[in-house]
Amino acid sequence: MRMRITLVMLLLVALGAGAARAHAFLDHASPLVGSTVATAPHEVALTFTQNLEAAFSSVEVTDAKGVRVDQGKPQISGNTMRVGLKAAGPGRYQVHWHVLSVDTHKTEGNFSFTVGGP
Amino acid sequence: MGDPLIYVRAIHFAAAITAVGAIFFSVFIAEPAFFKAEAGARSPTVLRAQFAWLVWIGLAVALLSGAAWFVLVAQSMSDTSFADVFSEGVLWTVLLQTGFGHAWLARLILACLLAAVLAASFQRPRKRLLADIYAVVLAGSFVGTLAFAGHAVGAGGFEGIVHPAADFVHLIAAAAWIGMLLPLALLLAAAAQDETSVGVAYTATRRFSNVGLVTVGVLLVTGCINALYLAGSLPAITETDYGRLLLIKVALFLLMVAIAAINRQVWTPRLIHVSVASSRKALSRLRRNAAIEAGLGAVIIVIVAVLGMTPPGLHQQPIPEMQHYSH
C-alpha cells in the first residue's frame, strides 16, 4: 500500500504536478509587464495561471491621463484574455485586470507598459 | 472567519454527507446485516425509519444550504449587494454562464433524481436492487460533484483531469466513512436494547470496518494527489494557513484511523466470541467510539469548509507583485 502511494506520488511529481495555482494570477502579458515597446500595440493579451469565467472577468487600459484606451469587449478563451486598443500615441499605459477563476475566486492586479523610446 | 459562506459550506458538507452516508450504510451495511437477523427482531424496522429520516433531513438541509451557497457565491462573483443579486439577473448569469453554476445545476438535478428514486423505492420495496444501484450512484455523484465547486478545477491539461477526478473520489470516500458513523451508532444503540440484535451489530460492525479500510486507502491516495496540487511543497505546508489547517485535518484523520483500528482489532471480535457481559461492554465501547469518530469527522468538515475559502499553500508563495486575491 505504502509502496503504491509512493509510486503514485513520484509519478505525479515526475509529470510536473505542482505548477498549478488555484487562483488565477497573471502569468504573462503582451506587451510584457513593465516593458517599453517601439510602436503602440493593437491589443493587450493577458495569460493567467488558471481558466477564467468570461462573464465576470474584465480589463481596463488607461493612458497617462487616465483616459480609457481599450475598446470592445475583452475576448476570453481558457486562461487568456485579450482586449483591443484604440490608436494611441507614445506614453505610459496602465492595465488593470479583474478576473474570476473557474474555482470561484477573484483576483485583480495592474501593471504598466510604455510606448515609444526613452 | 466572519464570512457566512464558511458556515453555509460547513452545513452543506455535513448535510450532504449525512444523507449520502445513510444511503450507503443502508445499502452496504444495514440491509445485508438485517438479512441475517432473526425473524421478528424489532430493530430493523425502527432503524430503517431512522435512516430514512437521516436521508430526507440531510437532503432537505443540503438543498437549502446549497441554495444559500449559490446566492453568496453569485454575490461575491458580481460584487453587487445582496438585494441586487436577486433583481439584476445575476443568478441566471452565474447559473448558466459559469462553471460553478453548471456544477450547481447538475447537483440540483442529481438531488431531485435521488429524491425521486428514494420515494419510488419506498413505494415498491421489492424492487430493491435496481433502486439501490441508482440511489448509490446518484448519492455518490451528488457529494462527489462538490469537487467542481472547489480548488480542484481551473487548471488545464493533465491536472485539469486528474485533480477533479481525485477530488471527486475523495469526497465520495469521505462521505462514506464519516456519513456512515451516525447510522452505525444508531444501529449499535438499537442492539444494546435488544438481545436478539447482537448478531446484527456484529455483522454490521465487521462490514463497516471492511468498507472503512477501503475508504481509508482511497482517502490516503486521493488526499495525497490533492495535497500535491494545492500544497505540494514543504514551506507551502508549514508556513501558510492553508498548509497548517491541512496538517490539523490530517492529524484528525489519523486519530480516526487509530480509533477504527482499535474497534476492528479489539472490540468487534469481543461482540460475539466471549461472554454476554463482554459483548455488552464491547457494544458500548463501539458505540462511544463511533460517536467520537463522528465528532472528529464533524471537525474535519468544518476545516474543509475553511480550506475551500483559503488560498491554497502553493500560490500564497510566489505572490506576484501587484496582484491581489479575495477569497
| Predicted local confidence at residue B11, as pLDDT | 96
**Cell match 510536473: residue?**
A16
Architecture in CATH of A22-115: Sandwich (2.60)
Complex ipTM: 0.71
Pairwise CB contact (< 8 Å): A50 & B100: no
Local confidence band at A18 (pLDDT 50, 70, 90 cut-offs): very low
User: Domain locations in chain A?
Assistant: 22-115
A108 touches chain B (CB under 8 A): yes
A73 touches chain B (CB under 8 A): no
Minimal C-alpha gap between A24 and chain B (Å): 8
* Cα dihedral across residues B100, B105, B106, B107: positive or negative: positive
Pairwise CB contact (< 8 Å): B311 & A23: yes
- The pair phi, psi for residue A46, each rounded to 5°, is -120, 135
User: Domain locations in chain B?
Assistant: 4-316
Test mutation, A8, A99, A104, A105, chain B, max B CBs within 10 A: A104
Nearest CA in chain B to A15: B158
The enclosing H or E element of A4 equals helix A2-14
**pLDDT mean for each 10 residues of chain B (327 residues):** 84 97 95 78 85 96 96 88 83 91 95 94 74 94 93 80 93 96 93 81 92 94 90 78 90 94 90 80 91 95 89 56 55
Per DSSP, helices labelled H in chain B are 4-24, 31-35, 43-78, 82-87, 90-97, 99-123, 128-144, 157-192, 198-231, 234-238, 241-262, 268-270, 276-307, 313-316
User: Residue B183 corresponds to which amino acid?
Assistant: P
Minimal C-alpha gap between B266 and chain A (Å): 23
* Sheet (strand A26-30) strand order: A26-30, A43-48, A80-85, A70-77
Nearest CA in chain A to B150: A103
| Predicted local confidence at residue B317, as pLDDT | 42
* B151, B159, B323: residue with CB nearest A26: B323
Residues of A in contact with B317 (CB under 8 A): none
Minimal C-alpha gap between A20 and chain B (Å): 6
Q: Of B298, B213, B318, which Cα lies nearest the Cα of B261?
A: B213
